Amino acid sequence: MKIEQIEQYIKTHCSADDYSLHINNRESHETRFAQNGITQHIAGPEAEIMLNVSFGTRSGACMINHVTEANLDYLIQTAEAIAKMAPEDPEFISSAPAAELAKVNNCAEATLSLSPQAMVDIVQKSIDKAIALNATVSGMCEKHIKKTCLITKNGFKGYDKFSRFGHSMTIKKGEVETKVSYEAKDFAPFNLEQEFSRLAAQAEALSEMKAFDPGKIAVILRPEALQELLWYLAWGMQRRQADEGLSPFTGQLDKPCFGEKFNLYSTLKRPEMHAPSFNGEGIPSREITWVESGVLKAMNCSRYWAKAVGAEPLSMYNFYIPGEDSSEDEMMQLVPRGLIINRFWYIRPVDMKKGELTGMTRDGVLYFEAGKVRHAVNNLRFNEIPHEMTRRVLALGSNKLSAPSANLPTMLIDDFNFVDKTSF
């Protein structure tokens, strides 16, 4: 059943005062490999049709994963039955109204046309390269095509289509284990030779390991590591929590609470990035300056809270931090010693009101001194407050697409706070 038919069926048969219809379809191919062998290929379509309805301020929702008239009847009847039993919602907001949406292209032809056989060939070449290096490799090659649609009784109608290609490789050679990954909307720029060379060089650099004690030290955060911190920073940049005194950004709008070298945007203008034209609430995407030269200019704001405080509803739909031109070699010359961080993981909040996070390094940590990488060190646990961390940015590198929705530079940051060693 086509989207137009589903829309018409809901419109004709739903008796609720208001509704929002979400339709998501995804076609995926995932080729997994481990210890130099292909272990699994998963493929197939997935569908989600969710209906939110309301009678007055009482709301209910239901979701199905297969479209037939009988299932649509079940969807409507169940959502309406739940809404009629639900309590009044003091924070109820009606469905999104009609809106003009930006015209965006979130699909790449090279990804759309990538065949499963080509993906298997990429994996086999990855395995062959690992064998030639006397190492083992594991990972996944994946392709996803997603279509998302939001239709409301109040006239909102939005449709987006996304492509995503990913190839990750974790190599193990002796006691060394490390990872690289490529993830983008466009398969065309992917270069396996380049990715595997980066992986092999990373493994070689980690071959000599020495113990390192935690403490404050300068770090070079590669884009993948910076990205991990940004997800949590963005999660904490909520207008409501700030207005209610529950975040470090309370009373900080239009004030310099970040470092002067730090800028953060969501943009529709970079063709290599995913840029949805709307979010799940029906908030249209536009050019947004979140932080400019360290000054906090905007925060995420739901439709409900925007109405409550007279603000504009906003959603951080992608991350763009403009970089500069410092190379890692140049960064290593700017401080006496430091660490190069490939990735973080297991990041968790420590104090939401302060914005403090903890987490661990992953996939290799390199120690440098007097402008040269000397050896690898053990993994470390950190405690940091990301917006305060940006006040200690000493240099920015060139930009890299670290995820379809994140285009970030390498950052040199002084006095990064490591608090413990970790064994994994």
Q: Which residues are CB-neighbours of 48 under 8 A, at least 6 positions away? A: 22, 23, 24, 25, 63, 64, 65
Q: Which sign, positive or negative, has the C-alpha torsion 241, 244, 246, 251?
A: positive
CB-CB neighbours of 301 under 10 Å: 23
Q: Are 253 and 368 in contact (CB under 8 A)?
A: no
Q: Which residue has the tokens 């990373």?
A: 202
| Pairwise CA distance, residues 126 & 23, whole Å | 36
The highest-level CATH class for domain 3-200 is alpha beta
Question: pTM of the predicted model, to two decimals?
Answer: 0.94
Q: pLDDT digit of tens for each residue in the chain (424 aa)?
A: 889 999 999 999 999 999 999 999 999 999 999 999 999 999 999 999 999 999 999 999 999 999 999 999 999 999 999 999 999 999 999 999 999 999 999 999 999 999 999 999 999 999 999 999 999 999 999 999 999 999 999 999 999 999 999 999 999 999 899 999 999 999 999 999 999 999 999 999 999 999 999 999 999 999 999 999 999 999 999 999 999 999 999 999 999 999 999 999 999 999 999 999 999 999 999 999 999 999 999 999 999 999 999 999 999 999 999 999 999 999 999 999 999 999 999 999 999 999 999 999 999 999 999 999 999 999 999 999 999 999 999 999 999 999 999 999 999 999 999 999 997 7
Q: Are 2 and 25 in contact (CB under 8 A)?
A: no
| Pairwise CA distance, residues 141 & 168, whole Å | 7
| Pairwise CA distance, residues 38 & 327, whole Å | 37
| Domain extent listing, the chain | 3-200, 208-230+323-421
Q: DSSP label at 14?
A: -
| Pairwise CA distance, residues 162 & 334, whole Å | 41
